[in-house]
Copies of this chain bind each other. A is one copy, B any other.
Amino acid sequence: MRKPNGESDIGAQLARRTRIREEALAHGYVSIDTLAAALNVSAMTIHRDLDSLASEGWLLKVRGGARIHPAALLDTTVRSRAERNVPEKRAIAAQALTHVRQGHVVFLDESTSAGAMIEGLPERGPLTVVTNSLSAITRLSGEPGIDVISTGGTFRHGYDAFFGMIATDAASRLQADILFMSTTAIDRGQCCHKSEETVLFKRALMKSSAFKILLVDHSKFGLRALHRLAPVADFDLVIVDDRISPSDRADLEALGVTVEVASMDDTVVNQRTG
């Protein structure tokens, strides 16, 4: 029996669970009674929320409430990253898709930027897509015009993708026409990443690709990360969104790399070679 108040229930469960996650992240612990009161639902509903969040690995249930799962503190998972800068990523993806030709062997990495291209690939087939991204694999494996090759590897929850020796070796032994990848940070002309196994895998992709495209939204500039992945100049093309700052753009062009700026209003594209 639902609460008789007229509040909109569209996405109510999602909102409530997101709220619980935030609460848990902030305080390390949430109590069932407190949540039930604060969110104006029954304790049973909170129980179910916590069960669900626990099974997804966010929380650990304890008597009377739940603690934040240690792993959830460490990694900023795809689920939260994918929600950021969505319009930028869509614009970049749309521009990137214009470089895909029928018959191409395409490398896609596990980035959310490359992930934004997935939906647009089937209509550009026939293609062969090689990827370590689970969502790309599941989405494209049903498409008649797309041959899907998985790199395999060890599954990493935080990235929704596969890495490790198996993935890196597979990438080394294939040969692609075109690579679409992204990076966590761009700092003084270097692509950087916080995870070593990611770096190893992406380098293997780069070595095996005839044409390399880097997809970066404006928020990546000036960020730092521990491991150097590759110089930006190693890419044949960089696609950025139009909210990039003039100075970041000037820096990019000073590196001698070809840059395409994807416009967010429309499909209009402002192309420029540095």
Chain A interface (Cβ < 8 Å from any Cβ of B): 55-57, 71, 134, 137-138, 141-142, 144, 147-155, 157, 160, 162, 164-167, 169-170, 173-174
Contacts and interface: CB of A to CB of B under 8 A. Distances in A.
> How many copies of this chain?
2
A141 B166 contact: no
Contacts of A173: 165-166
Contacts of A141: 134, 155, 157, 160
Contacts of A71: 144
A144 B55 CA distance: 7
18 contacts: A55-B142, A55-B144, A134-B137, A134-B138, A138-B138, A147-B154, A147-B155, A148-B154, A149-B153, A149-B155, A149-B162, A149-B166, A150-B152, A150-B153, A152-B152, A152-B162, A152-B166, A170-B170
Chain A binding surface SS class = mixed
A164 B152 CA distance: 12
- Which of A148, A149, A166 counts the most B-chain CB atoms under 10 A from its CB? A166
A63 B158 CA distance: 47
Contacts of A57: 142, 144
B147 A149 contact: no
Given A141-B157, A147-B155, A151-B152, 20 more contacts: A55-B142, A55-B144, A57-B142, A57-B144, A71-B144, A134-B138, A134-B141, A137-B137, A137-B155, A148-B155, A149-B152, A149-B154, A149-B164, A150-B166, A152-B152, A152-B153, A152-B166, A152-B170, A169-B169, A169-B170
Contacts of A153: 149-150, 152
A152 B166 CA distance: 8
- Which of A71, A141, A147, A173 counts the most B-chain CB atoms under 10 A from its CB? A141
A141 B155 CA distance: 7
A170 B170 CA distance: 9
Contacts of A155: 137, 141, 147-150
Nearest to A134: B141
Nearest to A148: B155
A149 B153 CA distance: 5
Contacts of A157: 141
